[in-house]
Amino acid sequence: MFSKQKPPAIRSLIADGNHIEGHVHFRDGLRVDGTIVGNVRAREEDSSILVISETASILGEVHADHVIVNGTIKGPVYARQMLELQPKARIEGDVFYTALEMHQGAIIAGLLRPTPSMLEDKPALKLAATGN
């Protein structure tokens, strides 16, 4: 189900201190350190990665293959392949995922909803180890 292909390169950055109002569409990889008020969506045709750092906040929907969160999202999250929630992740909205890794300290105020492909293939839910 999950190939070990190399993840796409992060080619774009929304730096800390930047504030964008409007929808953001990207391909390959995007790192967000600033604020976005609008939906963030990766092209479905290409493999994608979205990194939301601890200084970042997004008010809107998030769509990408691989989503790594250590900041704040207020809106639904659609991770087509993998969702990684780091210790400072805060999500207010429903989460749709195929595979999920959640570290201690991460918070979701919404429903966890597996995608239909997850229900068919049944990948394991991975809980991140603490410490060390």
Q: Can you give the residue ranges of every domain in the chain?
A: 10-124
Percent of the chain predicted with pLDDT > 70: 84
72: closest CA among 64, 62, 81, 63?
62
98: closest CA among 74, 126, 76?
126
pLDDT exceeds cutoff 80 at 118? no
Q: Is the dihedral of CA 110, 43, 84, 90 positive or negative?
A: negative
pLDDT exceeds cutoff 80 at 75? yes
Place of tokens 């080619």: 11
- For the chain, the C-alpha Rg in angstroms (whole number) is 14
pLDDT for position 116: 76
72: closest CA among 93, 95, 56, 94?
56
pLDDT digits over 11-60, tens only?
A: 999 999 999 999 999 999 999 999 999 999 999 988 999 999 999 999 99
Question: What mean pLDDT, rounded, does the chain reach?
Answer: 90
